[in-house]
Structure 1
Amino acid sequence: MNYQILSEIKDPKDLKKLDSRSLSLLAQELRHRIIDVLSQTGGHLASNLGVVELTLALHYVFDSPSDKLIWDVSHQTYIHKLLTGRNELFPTIRQTGGLSGFSNPKESPHDHFYAGHAGTALSLALGVAKQRDLSKEKNYIIPIIGDATLTCGMSLEALNNISRDIKKFIVILNDNEMSISKNVGAITRILSRMLSNPRTTRLYQELDGLLTKIPGYGALISQQGHRITESIKHLFSPAVFFENFGLSYIGPIDGHNINEMIQAFEGIKNSNWPVFIHVLTKKGQGMNEALNNPSLWHGAKPFSPNTGKFLPTTSDKPTFPKIFGKHLLKMARTDESIVAITPAMSQGSCLDQFVAEYPDRCLDVGIAEAHSVTYAGGVAYGKKHKVFSSVYSTFLQRGFDNVFHDVCLQELNVVFAIDRAGIAGGDGQTHNGIYDISFLNAMPNMVIAQPRDGDKLKDLLESAHAWNLPASIRYPNMETTETEREREVLPLGKGEVLQSGSEVLIVAVGHMSELAFEISEKLNLHGIQPTLVDPVFIKPLDEELFVELLKTHSIVVTIEEHSLASGFGILFNSFTLRNGFYPKVLNFGVPEIFVEQGKYKDLLKSIGLTADTIYQKLLKTLEEEVERKNIHMQEVLS
């Protein structure tokens, strides 16, 4: 496609030169650009197709970056990026060294915060507005939230703190009736299109007109009847919900009508109080496949723009999440006590079939991570049910206190199935699941385990409730292997020796065991046979096993896809010192940096988490140890 208008947009100010027809043509070009690039790279497709006109209207009326557009979650900022000078770089989105798939202040002055978790925009915007007022500045603060944002407790806390005196504060609600999966809960029903129907307004206007016409008493009855019409308004309109928080409600507005939105935005620019504008959009607008199945096309894989079908994958291996979802459902079919809980991640965590078959036992509580943890604790109370809390590692961080206060302290047997544990690839800094070991290890009573393959994941799922403790099973979103062997009941805290050797001990957490075997093959060329161990349990550690191994191994290597600052390596180092062992230890993992987006293998290479890098450093250490021993022997002989 010839991007005749888009190619001329270098800054949002360029939009102000366009007439209504040109804006509509630009909207078509933007949609084509999104589809064209994402068909090759993958990425957040449906959500970005849904905000084309909304983003255009915002940038047309307001003056970014002086006026602060603060996007909640920000996976829907691709149009924003295209309009703020990043069109030429757009094919690099989510790629190594390229554009982030979320807002990123280091990319552009038009991005004000890193954002990848829902529910932060309102609180950030209120803080920025306070900073602006203290600095006596006059710019607009405009948080753009989704309807799913309002299922987050933090958003309601922010609403509760909005002052009627805040000026130039405009909340945009992008209501597409969805988050990643279908929204759930009472709050979303308040915002449904049925309740937003303009016919409600006509209903109470007509009622008021009828009451006024009653001879003799019409005016008096109309005054009393006004209370009735207000009650009807309370019943049928979302306006009152927001007006009770001090926001002036406007809407609903057609989110795909640029002119209507421009008029609305222009009309409220001089308001002396905070305004809430309700915009109705459709996820996937402009592409039938995404429009008809927005959940599937939320985080799209590469696809054919001509056929609208995803490109075939080159592997038929299952992923850890798919094995988890399939096996948990298999367990649930024979055990009615099993209950699964997830915060809006039923599809991503592969629980959609579980939800379909057992809706009363597979519960999606919406984007409410802290609530999901405490809720799981409540379901586990009484020990009549086997509760699995399925949550992404990066989102479990939001339930830190709930894990401590409402599960561990209560000694409740909740099993946390921690998905996306490890490097997040294209999702980048906000989604890397590399911190959970650190905070879970601090929790008394918490078990932490990690499977190296699909079979071990199944074993852990089958065994976890027998330990009668809070437990976490962490696993990445990557391909693995599985067999149909019978399940093993795993004793608590027992590691496994995968290969016996001498002198060098390599301890690889979970799927890092593949790296351990690659390193072993390289060392074999030098006549060195290392011992390879999968600890299986990070906590409690198999102390008996490692005490025996440390008696005969002077060099230890730990490998993990987790932050080195507070992960397995640090725990192992502490263990060796406590037990009076002083081996030469090399810890490999994620350094203390925020790992950006990119291809998984590229990112591992950039942080030195590859077989070749580890082998080279280990070989150098072995040479240094030989030299040190030779020098020591010479000193003894002299």
Structure 2
Amino acid sequence: MRLYDIESPDQIRSLTIPQLNALAEDIRHFLIHSISKTGGHLSSNLGIVETTIAMHYVFHGPQDKMIFDVGHQAYVHKILTGRSTLFPTLRQLDGLSGFQKRKESVYDCWEAGHSSTSLSAALGYAAARDILHQDYNVVALIGDGAITSGMSMEALNDIGAQKRKMIIIFNDNNMSISKNHGGMEKRITSIRSSRVYRNVKQDVKGSLDHNKFGTETLKFMTAFRDRLKKGLIDAPLFEEFNLDYMGPVNGHNIAELIKVFETAKEHDGPIVVHVRTKKGKGYSFAEQDTVGKWHGVSPFNIATGQSLMKLPPNEKSWSQIISDALIQLAKKDPKIVAITPAMAQGSKLMKFAKMFPDRFFDCGIAEQHAITMACGMSLGGLHPFVSVYSSFLQRAYDQMNHDLARMNLPVVVGIDRAGLVGDDGETHQGVFDIAMLRSIPNLILSQPKDAKEAYDLLYTAFTSGKPFCIRYPRGQAIVPETIAFDSIPIGSWTKKQFGLQPKGIIIAYGPDVERIEHTVQENEYEMIVVNARFFKPIDEHLLTSLLNLNLPIYVFETDVTMGGLSSAILEFQNQYKNKIHILGISDHFVEHGSIRALRKNEHIDLESLFKEIDAHG
């Protein structure tokens, strides 16, 4: 069967097991070659091919609800539901989303981008089905990283209490993005490595192979549960939540998976099916990855595994710039510690972890815990740095407010991937943190325009004795050979005047400041360009002097305007009469696409800025 001929999962149910196995290999080949051209989430999808095929073989969407936690591993689901021809547009503007998307297909009943939402959503569906007296299956697939988060624990607790019929497929590959951490992971590992586990795993296969309908399988699994409860090994996590448990099952054996799913489908009440998979299966570079390099990739050379995106030798990613500065400061200050919620690779903290293993903490997918743990460390005398993606920081708003800012603790928060991130889409765009944090008392919120200013802001943050946030975007910047640390007055902005009689004022922040300065100079505009490197507090003294010039002001904002920098300026400007023009993201979610395409689409590119200036010049 050709992948391009698949329009619905109904077509695969007539295939034999050998044909399904061949389909799995075709899908892997397709994914590797397609993602090598577009980029995307590779290793997680390679690991879930057979499991997804078996899900669609047994369960009948769109009536049956299949929810993929996070949704980044739903590429196989998209192929089986008739979207293979759209993969050349993956994560491009107006193209195929990298996650489940309800408007994209009737088979997508849920959509997310952040982890650990699937179990709560599935329970909600099950409750709605029962209350409305409907009849369909609810299936949630969740990985071993996402299941350890607090939200998953809350959902498991309620699922066990409500006892509604639903199926949880636990995808156990011992690696969410990078290696998993924490007590829950150790609990799962103890099950994997025990002698009873290994013996039972063989018995499971034998039971399935000799049993057409699988009814004996569930009896066997119940016996397995009883053996666990007798103390032969620790009972699985799920048993303690009053959930029935089947597994472990080979997640790459389609015949075995189909039989187990058929059995689980007949079970009355919530049941967990534990499948073991290999992340990156079928592509050697991804299989050997232990740090998450092949989780999300840019276009790459299949033969060599090398990325096709090469940075100039004098440039580094913003994440790397912050990490390098942190390491330099940590060499001099033994109290500096670094914390990340499961994003060590993406945040470029692996070198810090290697150099200072006792001062590095990967707390798993637990942003709330990361912030509050940092608060405790601060009160205990340490100097914490928390690296967290902007979109994930949304999950820790209460901790930023209640624990960090309210107690006015000296913790530095590095807000990575701030601003538009591009192809991961609306769930990952880091455009809300300024508006989210600006209303919180005591917090300092800043963004550097270049590598030097990043070093200086980090140094200033650690010496400030205050809760201090530094946001920095996806992308890269030029890095000088040597950078010294200098202190920056908190709340200060800088300005640069072009021409003797400026006709207007541009207020911007981040890397756009230098781009704007270059364009102004190159095109001989007479303007004042302001580097608004602090969002809170703002430089009221400089802003007052600028407003007194009675010139038009252009606020160039690459985040949401509601509650952002422009709001702060308008609040302060209320008693002045200057004409203020605002360019920024209006009240909506920004979907996927390249950053360049999205900026043009949102009218927050330099061309749009200078068109606005020319129109009012």
* TM bracket (short chain): over 0.9
1:425 match: secondary structure: coil
Structure 1 position 334, deviation (Å): 1.7
- Between the aligned partners of 1:145 and 1:349, the Cα distance in structure 2 is 24
Q: 2:410 aligns with which of 404, 409, 413?
A: 413
- Between the aligned partners of 2:344 and 2:361, the Cα distance in structure 1 is 9
Q: Could you say which residue in structure 1 is the equivalent of 2:609?
A: 614
- Between the aligned partners of 2:226 and 2:176, the Cα distance in structure 1 is 33
Q: Could you say which residue in structure 2 is the equivalent of 1:507?
A: 507
- Between the aligned partners of 2:405 and 2:121, the Cα distance in structure 1 is 31
**Equivalent residues of 1:509, 1:534 under 8 A apart:** yes
1:583 partnered with 2:578: yes
CA 1:565–1:174 in 2, change beyond 3 Å: closer, same or farther?
same
1:367 match: secondary structure: coil
Matching residue's letter, 1:111: D
**1:244-393 counterparts in 2 under 5 A?**
244-293=240-289, 295-311=292-308, 313=310, 315-316=312-313, 317-382=315-380, 384-393=381-390
1:138 partnered with 2:138: no
Cα deviation, 1:248-268, whole Å, max 9, x if unaligned, reads 100000000000000101122
Structure 1 position 455, deviation (Å): 0.9
- Between the aligned partners of 2:247 and 2:409, the Cα distance in structure 1 is 46
CA 1:290–1:548 in 2, change beyond 3 Å: closer, same or farther?
same
Deviates more, 1:311-320 or 1:384-393: 311-320
**Equivalent residues of 2:446, 2:534 under 8 A apart:** yes
Structure 1 position 193, deviation (Å): 6.7
**Equivalent residues of 1:196, 1:237 under 8 A apart:** no
**Equivalent residues of 1:386, 1:414 under 8 A apart:** yes
Structure 1 position 238, deviation (Å): 4.4
**1:398-477 counterparts in 2 under 5 A?**
398-477=395-474
Structure 1 position 608, deviation (Å): 0.5
Structure 1 position 499, deviation (Å): 2.8
Deviates more, 1:551-560 or 1:253-262: 551-560
TM-score normalized with structure 1 length: 0.89
CA 1:461–1:15 in 2, change beyond 3 Å: closer, same or farther?
same
- Between the aligned partners of 1:287 and 1:193, the Cα distance in structure 2 is 28
**1:589-628 counterparts in 2 under 5 A?**
589-622=584-617
- Between the aligned partners of 1:542 and 1:10, the Cα distance in structure 2 is 58
- Between the aligned partners of 1:439 and 1:136, the Cα distance in structure 2 is 41
Matching residue's letter, 1:253: V
Deviates more, 1:459-468 or 1:51-60: 459-468
Q: Could you say which residue in structure 1 is the equivalent of 2:486?
A: 488
- Between the aligned partners of 2:451 and 2:286, the Cα distance in structure 1 is 31
**Equivalent residues of 1:74, 1:103 under 8 A apart:** yes
Q: Could you say which residue in structure 1 is the equivalent of 2:126?
A: 129
1:119 match: secondary structure: coil
Structure 1 position 588, deviation (Å): 1.1
**Equivalent residues of 2:41, 2:295 under 8 A apart:** yes
**Equivalent residues of 1:139, 1:168 under 8 A apart:** no
Deviates more, 1:545-554 or 1:493-502: 493-502
**Equivalent residues of 1:256, 1:281 under 8 A apart:** yes
Cα deviation, 1:79-116, whole Å, max 9, x if unaligned, reads 01111110110111111221111111111111122211
CA 1:230–1:154 in 2, change beyond 3 Å: closer, same or farther?
same
Deviates more, 1:5-14 or 1:368-377: 5-14
Structure 1 position 246, deviation (Å): 2.1
CA 1:394–1:307 in 2, change beyond 3 Å: closer, same or farther?
same
Structure 1 position 314, deviation (Å): 5.5
1:552 partnered with 2:549: yes
Matching residue's letter, 1:368: A
- Between the aligned partners of 2:163 and 2:363, the Cα distance in structure 1 is 33
CA 1:590–1:235 in 2, change beyond 3 Å: closer, same or farther?
farther
1:108 match: secondary structure: coil
Deviates more, 1:186-195 or 1:563-572: 186-195
1:277 match: secondary structure: strand
- Between the aligned partners of 2:510 and 2:612, the Cα distance in structure 1 is 21
- Between the aligned partners of 2:111 and 2:40, the Cα distance in structure 1 is 17
**Equivalent residues of 2:372, 2:403 under 8 A apart:** yes
**Equivalent residues of 1:72, 1:144 under 8 A apart:** yes
Cα deviation, 1:481-502, whole Å, max 9, x if unaligned, reads 2222422111111111133552
1:93 partnered with 2:94: no
- Between the aligned partners of 2:262 and 2:228, the Cα distance in structure 1 is 31
Q: 1:182 aligns with which of 174, 179, 192?
A: 179
2:476 match: secondary structure: coil
Matching residue's letter, 1:378: G
Over the aligned positions, Cα root-mean-square deviation in angstroms equals 2.2
2:319 match: secondary structure: helix
TM-score normalized with structure 2 length: 0.92
Matching residue's letter, 1:315: P
**Equivalent residues of 1:142, 1:169 under 8 A apart:** yes
Structure 1 position 309, deviation (Å): 2.9
Structure 1 position 168, deviation (Å): 3.5
**Equivalent residues of 2:556, 2:609 under 8 A apart:** no
Deviates more, 1:303-312 or 1:52-61: 303-312
- Between the aligned partners of 1:498 and 1:520, the Cα distance in structure 2 is 11
- Between the aligned partners of 1:18 and 1:434, the Cα distance in structure 2 is 46
Cα deviation, 1:394-450, whole Å, max 9, x if unaligned, reads 000000000011111111011110000010111101000000011111110000010
Structure 1 position 522, deviation (Å): 6.9
Q: Could you say which residue in structure 2 is the equivalent of 1:209?
A: none
- Between the aligned partners of 1:558 and 1:182, the Cα distance in structure 2 is 43
CA 1:397–1:53 in 2, change beyond 3 Å: closer, same or farther?
same
- Between the aligned partners of 2:486 and 2:258, the Cα distance in structure 1 is 63
Structure 1 position 565, deviation (Å): 1.6
- Between the aligned partners of 1:318 and 1:236, the Cα distance in structure 2 is 48
**Equivalent residues of 1:196, 1:238 under 8 A apart:** no
1:458 match: secondary structure: helix
Matching residue's letter, 1:37: S
Structure 1 position 150, deviation (Å): 2.0
**Equivalent residues of 2:192, 2:198 under 8 A apart:** no
Structure 1 position 466, deviation (Å): 2.1
Number of residue pairs matched?
593
**Equivalent residues of 1:196, 1:236 under 8 A apart:** no
- Between the aligned partners of 2:522 and 2:41, the Cα distance in structure 1 is 40
CA 1:167–1:541 in 2, change beyond 3 Å: closer, same or farther?
closer
2:72 match: secondary structure: coil
1:405 match: secondary structure: helix
Matching residue's letter, 1:480: A
**Equivalent residues of 1:44, 1:75 under 8 A apart:** yes
**Equivalent residues of 1:519, 1:614 under 8 A apart:** no
2:265 match: secondary structure: coil
CA 1:522–1:605 in 2, change beyond 3 Å: closer, same or farther?
farther
Structure 1 position 71, deviation (Å): 0.9
Structure 1 position 518, deviation (Å): 4.8
Structure 1 position 303, deviation (Å): 1.4
Structure 1 position 290, deviation (Å): 0.5
- Between the aligned partners of 2:437 and 2:311, the Cα distance in structure 1 is 36
